[in-house]
Amino acid sequence: MDAPMDNDGKLKCSIEYTLKKIGGKWKTVILWHLNVDGTLRYNALRRLLPGVSHKVLSQQLKELEEDGFIHRVQFNSIPPKVEYSITDFGKTLMPILEQMHVWGTEHGSLE
Amino acid sequence: MDAPMDNDGKLKCSIEYTLKKIGGKWKTVILWHLNVDGTLRYNALRRLLPGVSHKVLSQQLKELEEDGFIHRVQFNSIPPKVEYSITDFGKTLMPILEQMHVWGTEHGSLE
DNA sequence: CAGTATCCATCAGGATACTG
DNA sequence: CAGTATCCTGATGGATACTG
């Protein structure tokens, strides 16, 4: 292996690093949607992810934002409005997501 | 989105299907090693994954085998000997892992 | 509308000891 | 050597109610 190894048992491989970043249950799908649709409001996003709760969605969005993958714009209007979009950095993940999408489409049955 | 959706809130997107398959903490790394090294015995694999326990390693290996990603050959010798290798089907995951590896290498600091 | 706050369930993952 | 068998823990995710 060529990735940075450490002896504290923390990071063993660059693949693991990537997995840690996008391994959240909804992160890949959120990024995928934002990349396709461009910009989405909170509730629009929520409707696209059947089953996600408020807590989890905002959590995942916050982490994605902290990692620089998505951009959050808040309009101080009434009613409130928040728009999410993917950043250029977030787009660097697209090759991975595309491969995952291709594979999942080819091999994922309806289970 | 184009992937199969269902109304039970089970599978929403083919990306999620993929993530479910390889999202285990060690699965990607195991596959990566097996693809690089060809064939590895149980303990050799263990040495390559600092921090993994017996239980978790055999669990992940079993799941990978059940999913058809890896091949397990057991020699009924004394002492016992078991060899793991990646299957052709497992190799279909390589484009994903390669992209993950590239991204992780480029953006993963040592944290 | 777009979130927190709270509380709870689940389970993947880990430590350790034992076994064929 | 290559595993199970137990037991345990913390992180992740979920339901629901409340809020600016």
In a domain, residue A3? The reply is: no
Mean pLDDT along residues B57-70: 96
- Domain of B45 in residue numbering reads as 25-107
Q: What's the number of domains chain A is made of?
A: 1
pLDDT at position B7 is 36
Q: Looking at the domain assignment, is residue A10 inside a domain?
A: no
Whether A20 shows a pLDDT value over 50: the answer reads yes
CA A75 to chain centre: 22
Confidence of residue A109 (pLDDT cuts 50, 70, 90): low
CA A60 centroid distance within chain: 7
The nearest alpha carbon in chain A to B4 belongs to A110
Q: Is the CA virtual torsion B50, B56, B58, B59 positive or negative?
A: negative
**Banded model confidence at residue A3, pLDDT cuts 50, 70, 90:** very low
Residue B109: pLDDT band (50, 70, 90) is low
Higher pLDDT, B4 or B27: B27
In-domain check, residue A9:
no
Distance CA B80, CA B90 (A): 25
**Would residue B73 count as lying in a domain?**
yes
Q: Given this model, what pLDDT does residue A12 score? A: 53
In this prediction, residue A13 carries a pLDDT of: 76
B64 touches strand C (CB under 7 A): no
- Å: B77 CA to D11 C1': 41
Position A98 in a domain: yes
Whether residue B3 is contained in a domain is answered as: no
DSSP B8: T
Output the average pLDDT for chain B.
87
- Domain with residue A33: its CATH number is 1.10.10.10
Residue of B4 and B83 predicted with greater confidence: B83
Given a contact cutoff of 8 angstroms between Cβ atoms, the answer to whether B94 and B29 are in contact is no
Residue A83 contacts by C-beta under 8 Å, 6 or more apart in sequence? Answer: A39, A40, A41, A72, A73, A75
Tell me which chain B residue has its CA closest to the CA of residue A26. Answer: B16
Q: Which residues of A touch B36 (CB under 8 A)?
A: 1
Which residues in chain B have Cβ-Cβ distances shorter than 8 Å to A104? 3, 13-18
* pLDDT single digits (tens) B11-57: 457 899 999 999 999 999 999 999 999 999 999 999 999 889 999 99
What pTM was computed for the model?
Answer: 0.88
**Within a domain: B7:** no
Give A31's contacts in chain B (Cβ within 8 Å). Answer: none
- Tokens 């409005």 map to which residue? A81
Can you give the distance from the CA of residue A75 to the C1' of nucleotide D19 in angstroms? 18
Query: Which uninterrupted H or E stretch holds B55?
Result: helix B54-66
Supply the DSSP symbol for B38. S
Answer whether residue A80 is part of any domain. yes
